[in-house]
Amino acid sequence: ILRETLSKRGVRVLTGLGKYFRQIDKNRTGLLPQAAFKEGLKVFHLEVPEGDFESLWLVLDDGKSNKVDYGEFTRAVFGEMNEYRKAYVRKAYMKLDFNKTGSVPVVDIRKCYCAK
């Protein structure tokens, strides 16, 4: 149900929801309690009937921690990247990791990317 609602309103809502979740995640754990997750859905007018929400929560809270990883939620809605996109991301990463260290500091990203 949620996936159908999101597909009608598009990526813009989902990216806005992700941004909202990151803003309320003050500790930057990537995890949200049930109440915060439910509130975020309401803010973006993603009304989910209570019974459906409980089913959704059971799937999302697979570790029974009473929190949801909103990154996993996003991946569950979007799905995995196709091979073309994965190859493109790998190619971009290899360009950014010109020292071949396996990590890319923000300083190196700034050298290659302008957000303007």
Mean pLDDT over 66-71 rounds to: 85
Name the percent of the chain lying above pLDDT 70: 87
Same domain, 47 and 94: no
Mean pLDDT over 80-97 rounds to: 87
Greater confidence (60 vs 83) lies with 83
How far from each other are the two terminal CA atoms of the chain, in whole angstroms? 37
Same domain, 7 and 62: yes
Same domain, 22 and 47: yes
Provide the domain limits for residue 89: 83-112
Check pLDDT > 60 for residue 8. Answer: no
- Give me the DSSP letters along 10-34: -HHHHHHHHHHHHHH-TT--SEEEH
Q: Residue 4: pLDDT band by 50, 70, 90 thresholds?
A: low
Q: What is the pLDDT of residue 2?
A: 56
Which CATH number belongs to the domain containing residue 25 in this structure? 1.10.238.10
Do 60 and 72 touch, CB atoms closer than 8 A?
Answer: yes
Q: Residue 87: pLDDT band by 50, 70, 90 thresholds?
A: very high
Same domain, 48 and 103: no
Phi, psi dihedral angles at 31 (to 5 degrees): -120, 145
Q: What is the pLDDT of residue 53?
A: 87
Same domain, 56 and 106: no
Q: In angstroms, rounded to a whole number, what is the distance separating the alpha carbons of residues 24 and 37? A: 10
Same domain, 96 and 56: no
Greater confidence (84 vs 14) lies with 84
Domain count, the chain: 2
Q: In angstroms, rounded to a whole number, what is the distance separating the alpha carbons of residues 38 and 35? A: 5
